[in-house]
């Protein structure tokens, strides 16, 4: 795949969103200050520095989009006691399943890297005033059934006490939801998904969906 374009809603959120992408392991290759807010280019790893794929662009949401989202929020009285019930319904759906609407997934080739990255983000989200209250983490472990996978995840510093399960086997998911990035019908947040698939399995959560 080539690139994705992510947006933050308020100019002051730009540098904090960029900090979060760095914490998630993405490599910043450009930071261009523009009148409406910084424009950033990230790549998934150093090898993609000069390539045309593996790119994440991060910039301020365009004025027209901010205006539209604001008009929708005003019309639905979002955040007020008279809020339209559909807004709460959408939030509840996302709470139950972080994959319920648009989100972006990245495959990580090492479970240790994924564990270290997500533990680090979770820690920073509690201690860094910039990130406090802006990041939520949800975790899905592999469906049970493979002894080696189950034992590895039982012993995991990240997944050991997780009781949510993926729609598939032989892999794990970590969902990082942040309101530093705007998406969805109300522009409230974006979910970034980090996945790991255990090697050698032909049936895993990214190859076969199981209900």
Cβ-contact 43, 55 below 8 angstroms: yes
105 binds Fe ion, rule: CB under 5 A: yes
Cα–Cα distance, 198 to 21 (Å, whole number): 24
Tell me the angle at which helices 13-23 and 111-127 cross, rounded to the nearest 10 degrees. 150
CB of 201 to Fe ion, least distance (A): 18
Cα–Cα distance, 121 to 131 (Å, whole number): 9
Calculate the dihedral angle through the C-alpha atoms of 124, 172, 97, 22, rounding to the nearest 10 degrees: 30
Q: Using the structure block, give the residue that is written with the tokens 């959560």.
A: 205
Smaller CB distance to Fe ion: residue 72 or 137? 137
CB of 190 to Fe ion, least distance (A): 12
Point out which span in 1-9, 71-79, 99-107, 203-211 binds Fe ion (CB under 5 A): 99-107
207 binds Fe ion, rule: CB under 5 A: no
In 65-143, where do the E strands start and end? 104-107, 135-140
Which residue, judged by CB position, is nearest to Fe ion in the bound state? 99
CB of 197 to Fe ion, least distance (A): 13
The count of residues interacting with Fe ion (CB under 5 A) is 3
89 binds Fe ion, rule: CB under 5 A: no
97 binds Fe ion, rule: CB under 5 A: no
150 binds Fe ion, rule: CB under 5 A: no
Question: Which chain residues interact with Fe ion by CB under 5 A?
Answer: 99, 105, 193
């Amino acid at each position: 795949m080539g690139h994705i374009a992510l947006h933050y809603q308020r100019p002051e959120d730009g540098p904090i969103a960029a900090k979060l992408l760095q914490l998630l392991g993405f490599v910043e290759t450009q930071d261009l200050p523009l009148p409406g807010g910084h424009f950033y280019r990230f790549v998934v790893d150093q090898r993609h520095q000069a390539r045309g794929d593996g790119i994440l662009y991060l910039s301020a949401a365009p004025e027209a989009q901010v205006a539209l989202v604001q008009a929708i929020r005003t019309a639905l009285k979002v955040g007020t006691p008279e809020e339209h019930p559909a807004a709460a319904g959408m939030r509840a759906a996302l709470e139950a399943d972080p994959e319920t609407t648009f989100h972006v997934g990245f495959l990580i080739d090492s479970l240790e890297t994924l564990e270290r990255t997500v533990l680090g983000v979770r820690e920073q989200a509690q201690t860094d005033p910039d990130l406090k209250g802006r990041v939520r983490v949800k975790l899905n472990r592999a469906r049970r059934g493979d002894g080696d996978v189950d034992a590895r995840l039982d012993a995991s510093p990240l997944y050991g006490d997780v009781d949510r399960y993926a729609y598939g086997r032989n892999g794990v998911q970590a969902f990082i939801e942040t309101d530093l990035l705007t998406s969805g019908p109300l522009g409230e947040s974006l979910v970034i998904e980090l996945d790991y698939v255990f090697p050698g399995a032909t049936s895993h959560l990214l190859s076969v969906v199981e209900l």
